[in-house]
C-alpha cells in the first residue's frame, strides 16, 4: 500500500508492479526485435489470439454438444443453432476461426520461408512451428468430424483409410483408429476426445515451446542483415533510438502486434456475422449416412493441396500401384517441410527477392500449391486428373531439386 500511495496514478503503480516481475523485466530490458520488420511478423501473436477465440468458443459449444451418432447432428444444427441463446454466434466464431486460423498459419509459414527464418541457428523455431502446423491440422480434422454431417462422415472414412497403406500394420491401425471396422460411434467419441482434450493440451505446450525458441537466436529482419544486438540495444537505451537497429519488445513491438490484431478482428467478425457460409460446406448440413456416398468427397480448403497430392497418382508406375504412389507422395508432402533447413544449402540469409535462384523456386512452389488447392476441390476426371498429376510431380521435383539449386546459388555468390 505504501508503494501505491507514492505512485501518482493507478497506471503508474501498475507499471511499477510489472517492472518488479522477472519476466516483464527480461522482456523490457533484454529482449530486442529488429526495427525493420513489417506487419507479417505479427502473425504469431495473431495465431495465439485466434487459438484463444477457438478455445473459448469451443468451451461454450461443448456445453451443448452430444458426442453420440444419434444426437451429434441435431445437437449442432438444432440445439446450438436454434435453441441456445447466441449459440449460432459461438458456432460461427468457431467455424470461421477454424478456417481463418489456417489462412494465418500459411501466411506465417510462407513468410518464414520467404525471409529465411529457418536458417542455421533457427532450426528449432522452424521445427516447432511445423509441429504446430501438424497439430492444428489434426485438430481441424478431428473437429470437422464432430457435426456428423455427410462430408464429416465421408472425409473421416477417406482420411482414416489412408493409414491402411502403411505396410504390415495398416489394416489393424485403421481398425484401432476407428474403434471399429467402419466409421461409427466409437470413432466419433475418439475424435471428440482428441479434439477437446488431448490435441489442445499438446498445442498449448508446443506454443509455449515455440515462443521460447524465439529467444535464441533473435528473429531475422526484412533485409536479413546481421548486427550486434547488444550494441544496438545500448544505443536504444541511451536515447539514440533513431540510429538503433532494434526496438524494445515492449512497448514498441507489442504495440504493432496489437494494432494488427485489432484490424484483423474487424475483418474476422465481419466474416462471422455476414459471410460465415464459406466455412461450412452445404453437404455437411445433411446428416451422415453410410449408405449414401456424396458425388464428390473433398476436405476443407486448407487440406486441398495435400489431398490433391494424395489422389494425384491414379495409374501404376514401375509396378507400384497408383494408390501406393499417392500414399508415398502424401507422406512426402507432410514431412518435407520439416527438413527445409537442411534442404537449403545456401548460407545466404536474405529475403527471397534478393536471392537469384531461390526466388524462382519460391514463387514456383507458391504457384504449384495454388494449382493443387484449386484442383483438389474439382472432380478428378479427364483433364483435371492430369493437371493434378503434373502438379503433384512438380511439388516433389521442386523439393528434391532445392539442395542443388541452393548449392549452385551459394557457389555463384561465392564466386562473385
Q: Could you tell me the CATH number of the domain that includes residue 101?
A: 1.20.810.10
Q: Tell me, yes or no, whether 157 lies in a domain.
A: yes
User: Residue 247 belongs to what H/E stretch?
Assistant: strand 246-248
Q: Tell me, yes or no, whether 22 lies in a domain.
A: no
Which of 291, 308, 343 is the endpoint of a domain? Answer: 291
Domain hosting residue 95, numbered range: 28-291
Supply the pLDDT for residue 215. 66
* Same domain flag for 252 and 321: no
What residues in the chain have per-residue pLDDT under 70? Answer: 1-31, 215-229, 415-416
* Same domain flag for 302 and 373: yes
* Same domain flag for 164 and 117: yes
* Same domain flag for 33 and 162: yes
Distance CA 240, CA 235 (A): 5
Supply the pLDDT for residue 270. 96
Q: Tell me, yes or no, whether 116 lies in a domain.
A: yes
Task: Give me the sign of the Cα torsion angle 116, 265, 101, 393.
Answer: negative
Supply the pLDDT for residue 186. 94
C-beta separation of 312 from 389 below 8 A: yes
* Same domain flag for 317 and 384: yes
Read off the pTM: 0.88
Which of 276, 291, 306 is the endpoint of a domain? Answer: 291
Q: Tell me, yes or no, whether 9 lies in a domain.
A: no
Q: Tell me, yes or no, whether 374 lies in a domain.
A: yes
User: Residue 261 belongs to what H/E stretch?
Assistant: helix 254-274
User: Residue 34 belongs to what H/E stretch?
Assistant: strand 32-34
Distance CA 320, CA 313 (A): 10
Count of domains in the chain? Answer: 2
C-beta separation of 320 from 181 below 8 A: no
Which of 291, 323, 350 is the endpoint of a domain? Answer: 291
* Same domain flag for 309 and 405: yes
Distance CA 362, CA 364 (A): 5
Cis peptide before 206 (omega within 30 of 0): no
Supply the pLDDT for residue 256. 85
* Same domain flag for 148 and 207: yes
Amino acid at each position: 500500500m505504501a508503494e501505491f500511495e507514492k505512485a501518482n496514478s493507478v497506471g503508474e503503480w501498475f507499471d511499477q508492479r510489472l517492472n518488479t516481475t522477472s519476466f516483464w523485466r527480461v522482456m523490457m530490458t533484454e529482449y530486442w526485435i529488429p526495427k525493420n520488420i513489417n506487419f507479417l511478423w505479427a502473425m504469431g501473436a495473431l495465431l495465439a489470439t485466434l487459438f484463444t477465440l477457438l478455445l473459448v468458443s469451443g468451451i461454450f459449444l461443448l456445453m451443448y454438444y452430444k458426442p453420440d451418432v444419434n444426437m451429434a447432428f441435431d445437437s449442432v444444427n438444432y440445439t446450438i443453432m436454434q435453441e441456445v441463446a447466441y449459440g449460432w454466434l459461438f458456432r460461427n466464431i468457431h467455424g470461421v476461426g477454424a478456417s481463418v486460423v489456417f489462412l494465418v498459419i500459411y501466411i506465417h509459414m510462407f513468410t518464414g520461408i520467404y525471409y529465411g527464418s529457418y536458417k542455421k541457428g533457427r532450426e528449432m523455431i522452424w521445427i516447432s512451428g511445423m509441429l504446430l502446423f501438424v497439430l492444428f491440422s489434426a485438430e481441424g480434422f478431428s473437429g470437422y468430424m464432430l457435426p456428423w454431417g455427410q462430408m464429416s462422415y465421408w472425409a473421416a472414412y477417406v482420411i482414416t483409410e489412408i493409414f491402411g497403406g502403411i505396410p504390415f500394420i495398416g489394416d489393424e491401425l485403421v481398425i484401432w483408429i476407428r474403434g471399429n471396422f467402419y466409421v461409427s460411434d466409437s470413432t466419433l467419441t475418439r475424435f471428440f476426445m482428441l479434439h477437446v482434450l488431448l490435441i489442445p493440451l499438446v498445442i498449448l505446450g508446443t506454443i509455449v515451446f515455440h515462443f521460447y525458441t524465439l529467444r535464441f537466436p533473435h528473429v531475422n529482419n526484412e533485409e536479413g542483415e546481421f548486427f550486434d544486438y547488444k550494441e544496438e540495444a545500448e544505443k536504444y537505451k541511451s536515447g539514440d533510438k533513431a540510429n538503433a537497429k532494434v526496438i524494445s519488445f515492449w512497448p514498441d513491438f507489442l504495440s504493432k502486434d496489437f494494432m494488427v490484431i485489432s484490424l484483423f478482428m474487424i475483418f474476422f467478425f465481419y466474416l462471422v456475422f455476414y459471410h460465415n457460409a464459406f466455412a461450412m460446406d452445404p453437404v455437411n448440413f445433411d446428416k451422415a449416412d453410410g449408405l449414401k456416398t456424396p458425388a464428390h468427397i473433398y476436405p476443407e480448403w486448407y487440406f486441398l493441396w495435400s489431398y490433391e497430392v494424395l489422389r494425384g497418382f491414379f495409374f501404376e508406375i514401375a509396378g507400384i500401384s497408383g494408390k501406393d504412389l499417392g500414399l508415398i507422395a502424401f507422406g512426402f508432402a507432410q514431412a518435407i517441410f520439416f527438413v527445409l533447413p537442411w534442404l537449403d544449402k545456401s548460407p545466404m540469409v536474405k529475403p527471397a527477392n534478393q536471392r537469384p535462384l531461390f526466388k524462382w523456386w519460391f514463387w514456383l512452389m507458391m504457384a504449384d500449391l495454388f494449382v493443387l488447392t484449386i484442383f483438389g476441390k474439382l472432380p478428378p476426371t479427364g483433364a483435371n486428373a492430369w493437371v493434378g498429376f503434373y502438379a503433384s510431380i512438380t511439388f516433389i521435383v521442386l523439393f528434391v531439386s532445392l539442395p542443388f539449386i541452393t548449392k549452385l546459388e551459394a557457389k555463384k555468390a561465392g564466386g562473385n
